[in-house]
Amino acid sequence: MDHHSSSAATLLSSGDRGWKGLGAEFLHIRAGRTHVPGTESHRLGIHFGRAVNAHCQCDGQELRRQQKHGDIDIVPAGLDGWWEDDRDCTILRLTVRPELLQAAARELGQDPETVSLAPQFQLRDARLESIAWAIKAEIEATVPSDITYAETLGMALAIRLVENNGRMSATAGNDRAALSSRQQRRLTDFIEDHIDQSLSLADLAIVAGLSISHLKPLFHATFGMPVHKYVLTRRVERAKTLLLTADMPLAQIALAAGFAHQSHMTHWMRRLLGLTPGMIVRMHS
């Protein structure tokens, strides 16, 4: 469900965020018919809120359907068409530059020159949808996250588009028994870089380009432990390193390693290492 801006009021936009390759607008679309000219970017329209009856024509396809919350239309660069809705509606429009799609293809070990998108309408894909709502949360935030987070979301979106192209199944690619080496690297790097912050399953799922329900078993199969246990292990290791190398108060080390407070750090060090911070310092002094 992608619409020309003349009939749309922009409620939120990434325009002033300095994002590269990815754009996002949250739009209120007026009822009626609108022409959508082709653009240089690929476009995704994700329907938000109550359903509307929609009629669209694009790339020789004509469809009449009820557009529901989470339905996704993908319109590749250069294609135009028209859309008609029986009442006002709200959509999240994402634009993806061809260069971002090519970078995603390289990440997946594919030839970037052969990557192209086919138009898809009323696609249901839990992974695309979760990435899209994370992007919406970013343009809603009064204080945006670090720009690298938007780049991570953009890459996750592009990777999913490349993986999903030509396959309408939302479960495609999820039948393997472990995380790919690329997903492992992205996850371990992200955890190390953000160890001092709150790490949610939702954030990690986005980084891996998976739904939470798929991330949990694949992560366990790959790392031999659940996500929360792995994160705790890395926090304990970070705290141990800081104890031995940094001249910092214990309370500060706890925060730098992502623990809520010093006693939280002491508890988990004793649980996982069998040692308290004081014992570790004494052993190495």
Where on the phi/psi map is residue 71: left (φ > 0), alpha (ψ -120 to 50), or beta? beta
In a domain, 223, yes or no: no
How far apart (Å, rounded) are the C-alpha atoms in residues 49 and 26? 12
In a domain, 163, yes or no: yes
Q: What pLDDT score does 211 carry?
A: 87
> In this structure, are 25 and 158 located in the same domain?
yes
> In this structure, are 232 and 162 located in the same domain?
no
> In this structure, are 236 and 167 located in the same domain?
no
How far apart (Å, rounded) are the C-alpha atoms in residues 139 and 16? 10
Q: What pLDDT score does 175 carry?
A: 43
Q: What pLDDT score does 93 carry?
A: 95
Residue 257, domain CATH: 1.10.10.60
Q: What pLDDT score does 258 carry?
A: 95
* Single residue among 109, 140, 173 that ends a domain in this structure: 173
In a domain, 111, yes or no: yes
> In this structure, are 24 and 159 located in the same domain?
yes
Domain coverage including residue 52: 5-173
In a domain, 264, yes or no: yes
Q: What pLDDT score does 169 carry?
A: 35
In a domain, 178, yes or no: no
Q: What pLDDT score does 14 carry?
A: 94
- Do 235 and 153 meet the contact criterion of CB atoms below 8 Å apart? no
* Single residue among 145, 173, 201 that ends a domain in this structure: 173
> In this structure, are 41 and 163 located in the same domain?
yes
In this structure, what token pair is assigned to residue 89?
């509606």
Q: What pLDDT score does 154 carry?
A: 94
Q: What pLDDT score does 237 carry?
A: 87
In a domain, 181, yes or no: no
> In this structure, are 58 and 144 located in the same domain?
yes
> In this structure, are 97 and 162 located in the same domain?
yes
Q: What pLDDT score does 42 carry?
A: 94
| pTM (two decimals) | 0.58
Residue 127, domain CATH: 2.60.120.10
Kindly give, in sequence order, each residue whose CB lies less than 8 Å from that of residue 267, ignoring residues fewer than 6 positions away.
Answer: none
In a domain, 91, yes or no: yes
In a domain, 221, yes or no: no
List average pLDDT for each run of 10 residues in the chain, which is 285 residues long: 62 91 93 86 91 86 85 90 88 95 88 84 85 90 82 92 62 58 89 92 91 89 88 92 88 95 94 89 78
- Count of domains forming the chain: 2
> In this structure, are 10 and 130 located in the same domain?
yes
> In this structure, are 149 and 255 located in the same domain?
no
* Single residue among 173, 190, 218 that ends a domain in this structure: 173
